[in-house]
Amino acid sequence: MRRFPSSFSVAASCLILSATVLTICIGAASAQSGDPRALDQKQVPPVAADATKDSQRKTDEFVEAAQAINGPAGNPECVWLGRRVVNLMWRDDLDTAFRHLDLYDRFGCPGGHVQATFRCLVRFGGQIDNKIAETLNSRIQACWINPNAQPQANGAMPPAPAPAAPAAPAPQAAPK
């Protein structure tokens, strides 16, 4: 025979269900409540301004490269891919660098410019802080624009090593 649930268990189930729904609704409402002025427009633009500045900076870098470099190495796609290849090579990610280099070659960009830029970057290696990405990126951009750049000496040149003094002749025994 089939038993029907008692009215007490049905009432208890309805009460628990109602309490659960009420708790969820109150929690959601309190999460949404707050000071409506907190969502003021003054908080949104800094993020948008940073994105706009970054986009403008990248555009300016491409324009600078196009003005400074004659030929395909100044094309935006060559600048972007070439700088990326040099960055990956610096960070020892050679597999990815070679894949990007294949794309670089496919666009008809000059491979010699990547080599010269990496050579320039290695010359400036002591001035690059690996913990600050912007120092590496700015140095890659500078070397891309002028691969023949030379690091400036820090202060005075180190003294040249003194020439070795000639060895003193060995004493000779007197003839007998």
Tens-digit pLDDT profile for the chain (176 aa)? 555 556 656 666 666 766 676 677 676 665 555 555 555 545 555 667 777 877 888 888 888 888 888 888 899 999 999 999 999 999 999 999 999 999 999 999 999 999 999 999 999 988 888 788 788 989 999 999 999 988 876 544 444 444 455 555 555 666 65
Within a domain: 114: yes
In a domain, 128, yes or no: yes
Residues 118 and 101: their CA atoms lie apart, in Å, by 13
The pLDDT mean for the chain works out to 76
For a pLDDT cut of 90, what percent of the chain falls above it? Answer: 33
- Packing angle, helices 76-90 and 133-145, rounded to 10: 130
Domain of 72, in residue numbers = 67-145
102 within some domain: yes
- Is residue 108 domain-resident? yes
Q: Report H helices in the chain.
A: 7-32, 45-68, 76-90, 94-106, 111-123, 133-145
> Is 126 contained in some domain?
yes
Place of tokens 């628990």: 16
Distance CA 107, CA 118 (A): 19
Q: For residue 74, tell me if it sits in a domain.
A: yes
Which among 141, 143, 148, 149 is positioned nearest to 61, based on CA atoms? 141
Count of domains forming the chain: 1
Look at residue 155 in the predicted model and tell me its pLDDT. Answer: 47
Q: Does the residue 34 lie in any domain?
A: no
Domain contains 43? no
